[in-house]
Amino acid sequence: MALDIRLLQRRLKELKCYAGRIDGIWGRNTEKAVCTFQKNTGLDPDGIVGPKTLAALNIQRPDLDSSVATAAELVKISYTVNKQGVEAVNKTLKQDHGVWITSQCPVKGVEAYLLNNRCLLVPGSNSFWDYAKFNFRLLNLGMPRLGFGSRNKTKGFGRGTAPPDKNGIIWHQGFLTHANHISKWIGNNPEHWPRLVVGHSLGAASAQILSTIWTAPSIGFAAPRILKSKAPSTYRNLSLSICRTDDLVCRFPRGFERLGASRTLIHKSPRKGLNHNMAAYIDAMHNRISGLGIPDHWAP
């Protein structure tokens, strides 16, 4: 269930913060009204309707759809934003799923879209440029390396926080760099942290990493391997990675592993080809063999 905008507008109008029409459309006037209410109640006036703002408005927090099938459809739609634009994609999202994009990562080559229900969609590479920039930077040789350090959740992670192998763990530096851009964009305020991360390919690599930062569940399709461990991992198993057996991309890098739970996806009628895009994964989800242990919902 997404946030009911009509309910929000009615509540803001009752509080004399909103003077527009009750039309159920999230627009500039509604956002300004939210900021006004936040200022009046001593909250950060960022226009984001998070848990504290909802509580102050006495509105129930919208639930997340933790369906794996829905996650697959949403991340597939996210690939169309760079061609169709946010406004056009939001029409599809609202019509089919009752959600919409409220903000997007401003970093070039890093696609990530935050929905109104605090679900973060992270598609994979949409050009050779961003594929080469992040997928090929395995160890970042000759350059500063990223690590988690103390993993202080209020600080996230960044350049020089700690050697990646401090605890016997070596991180894929390109994937860590991609996730770091998204983490910095979202910021350090827990009020703004996503409640679910859904990704594909490069986005599925970031989803595994970001779930440990925000302590949020993540669902990744065609998930690459992101770390090499010499010691037992202490990171929480909040991530679910789903990989087709005939998707060669999921086998790399050699010697690395995924974080969290990993499930194998086997199509009833295996097909030749790369089988790496979201259309191939959705097809396999609908036509998979039984007994694979892939959950209908992911809410660890």
The stretch 169-175 carries a mean pLDDT of: 87
pLDDT value, residue 54? 84
Q: How confident is the model at residue 62 (pLDDT cuts 50, 70, 90)?
A: low
Domain ranges in the chain are 5-57, 68-286
Q: Is the dihedral of CA 114, 116, 119, 121 positive or negative?
A: negative
- Confirm or reject CATH 2.60.40.2470 for domain 5-57, answering yes or no: no
| The two structure tokens encoding residue 106 | 């401003």
pLDDT at residue 164 greater than cutoff 60: no
- Nearest residue to 78 (alpha-carbon basis) of 93, 61, 68: 93
Both tokens assigned to 214: 């925000």
Instruction: Tell me the average pLDDT across 170-174.
Output: 88
| Same fold across 5-57 and 68-286 | no
pLDDT recorded at residue 162: 38
Q: Which two tokens stand for residue 122?
A: 């992270």
Q: DSSP readout, 57-121?
A: HT-PPPPP--BHHHHHHHHHHHTTHHHH-HHHHHHHHHHHHS--EEEE--STT---EEETTSEEE
pLDDT of residue 149: 47
Taking Cα atoms as reference points, which of 251, 227, 194 lies closest to residue 50?
194
- Sequential DSSP letters for 15-36: TTS--S-------HHHHHHHHH
Q: What is the pLDDT of residue 235?
A: 58
pTM over 0.85: no
Mean pLDDT of the 51-73 span = 84
pLDDT, mean over the chain: 86
21-55 tens-digit pLDDT: 888 777 889 989 999 999 999 998 988 787 788 88
The mean per-residue pLDDT over the stretch 172-195 comes to 90
**Residue 147 or 300, more confident:** 300
Whole-angstrom distance, CA of residue 54 vs CA of residue 182: 25
Q: Poorest-confidence range of 51-65, 83-97, 104-118?
A: 51-65
Q: Does the structural domain 68-286 have CATH classification 3.40.50.1820?
A: yes
Distance CA 140, CA 221 (A): 25
In this structure, the number of other CB atoms found within 10 A of the CB of residue 24 comes to 13
108-124, pLDDT tens digit by residue? 999 999 998 899 999 99
The confidence band for 188, taking pLDDT boundaries of 50, 70 and 90, is confident
| Amino acid 230: pLDDT | 62
pLDDT tens across 242-295, in order?
999 999 889 888 889 998 899 999 999 988 888 999 999 999 999 999 999 999
pLDDT tens digit sequence for 223-256: 999 988 765 555 567 899 999 999 988 988 888 9
Average pLDDT over residues 80-103: 92
